[in-house]
Amino acid sequence: MTDPFATAGFLGLSGALLVIGLFGILTRRNFILLLISIEIAINAAVLNFVYFAAYAPSAPIALEGQSAAVVVIALAATEIAVGLAIVLALNRVRGSINVAESSELKL
Amino acid sequence: MSYTVVLEEFLPALLLLGGALLVFLADVVRVRRLEVFGGIAVAAIVGTLGSVLADLGTPYLEAFRTIPASVVDAPIAPGDLFAFTSLGLIFQGIFLLAALLVALASLSRPSHERGAAVFYGLLLLATLGMMFVAVAADLIFLLLALEITAISSYLLVGYTRRDPRPLEASMKFYIIGALSAALSFFGASLIYGAYGSTSLLVVGHTYPAGADGPLALAGFAFLLVGLGFEVTLVPFHMWAVDVYDGAPHDVSAFLAGGTKKAGLFAFFLVFLTPVVIGAGAQLSGSLELLLAILAVATMTVGNVAALMQDQMKRLLAYSSISQAGYMLLGVAIGTAPAIEGATFQIFAHVVLKAGAFLVVGAVAAMGVGPFVRDYRGLGHRRPVLSVAFALMLLGLAGIPLTIGFFSKFVLFSAAVEAGGLFVWLAVAGVLNSALSVFYYARILRVMYMEPAEGTDPATGTDGPLLPLGGLGYGRASAIALCAVVIVLFGIDPAPLLTAFQSGASHFLALGV
Q: Are B361 and B253 in contact (CB under 8 A)?
A: yes
Secondary-structure percent of chain A, ordered helix, strand, coil, rounded to 5? 80, 0, 15
Of the listed ranges A47-51, B105-109, B428-432, the one predicted with least confidence = B105-109
Structural domain boundaries enclosing B469: 281-512
Mean pLDDT of all residues in B477-506: 92
Among chain A residues, CA nearest to B177: A79
- pLDDT surpassing 60 at residue B208: no
Which pLDDT does position B199 carry in this prediction? Answer: 85
Q: In this complex, do B167 and A89 lie within 8 Å of one another by their Cβ atoms?
A: yes
Which pLDDT does position B465 carry in this prediction? Answer: 64
Q: Does B269 fall in a domain?
A: no
Determine contact: B144 vs chain A, CB below 8 A.
yes
Count the Cβ atoms, other than its own, within 10 Å of residue B467.
Answer: 8
Please tell me which residue, B66 or A66, carries the higher pLDDT value: A66
Q: Which helix (H) or strand (E) holds B141?
A: helix B139-157
Strand partners, B138: B199
User: Mutation test of the interface with chain A: which of B175, B223, B229, choosing the one with the most A Cβ atoms within 10 A?
Assistant: B175
Closest CB to B144: pick one of A42, A75, A94. Answer: A75
Which residue, among B50, B25, B27, B23, has the nearest Cα to B39 in the 3D structure?
Answer: B23
pTM as predicted: 0.94
What percent of chain B is modeled with pLDDT above 70? 90
Q: Which residues of B134-153 are buried (b: 16+ CB within 10 A; e: fewer)?
A: bbbbbbbbbbbbbbbbbbbb
Distance separating alpha carbons of residues B42 and B120, to the nearest angstrom? 9
Which pLDDT does position B298 carry in this prediction? Answer: 95
- pLDDT surpassing 90 at residue B321: yes
Q: Are A68 and B192 in contact (CB under 8 A)?
A: yes
Distance separating alpha carbons of residues B243 and B249, to the nearest angstrom? 11
Of the listed ranges A47-61, B16-30, B118-132, B472-486, the one predicted with least confidence = A47-61
* Alpha carbon of A34: minimum distance to chain B alpha carbons (Å): 8
- pLDDT surpassing 80 at residue A104: no
What percent of chain A is modeled with pLDDT above 70? 91
User: Mutation test of the interface with chain A: which of B168, B239, B242, B310, choosing the one with the most A Cβ atoms within 10 A?
Assistant: B168
Grade residue B34 by pLDDT with cuts at 50, 70 and 90.
confident
Domain count, chain B: 1
Which pLDDT does position B295 carry in this prediction? Answer: 92
Mean pLDDT of all residues in B269-274: 80
Q: Does B225 fall in a domain?
A: no
Determine contact: A8 vs chain B, CB below 8 A.
no
- pLDDT surpassing 80 at residue B284: no
CATH number attached to the domain at A4-96: 1.10.287.3510
Mean pLDDT of all residues in B133-156: 93
Chain B residues with CB under 8 Å of A99 CB are 171, 175
Please tell me which residue, B304 or B213, carries the higher pLDDT value: B304
ipTM of the complex: 0.94
- Most confident of the ranges B29-38, B157-166, B252-261, B288-297: B252-261
Cα first-last separation, chain B: 16
Mean pLDDT of all residues in B258-262: 93
Backbone angles phi, psi at B221, to 5 degrees: -65, -45
pLDDT per position as a tens digit, A48-85: 999 999 887 788 888 889 999 999 999 999 999 999 99
Which pLDDT does position B466 carry in this prediction? Answer: 61
pLDDT per position as a tens digit, B76-98: 777 778 888 889 999 999 999 99
Determine contact: B480 vs chain A, CB below 8 A.
no
Closest CB to B168: pick one of A56, A82, A104. Answer: A104
What percent of chain A is modeled with pLDDT above 90? 57
Determine contact: A48 vs chain B, CB below 8 A.
yes
Mean pLDDT of all residues in B362-380: 88
pLDDT per position as a tens digit, B455-468: 676 666 666 666 66
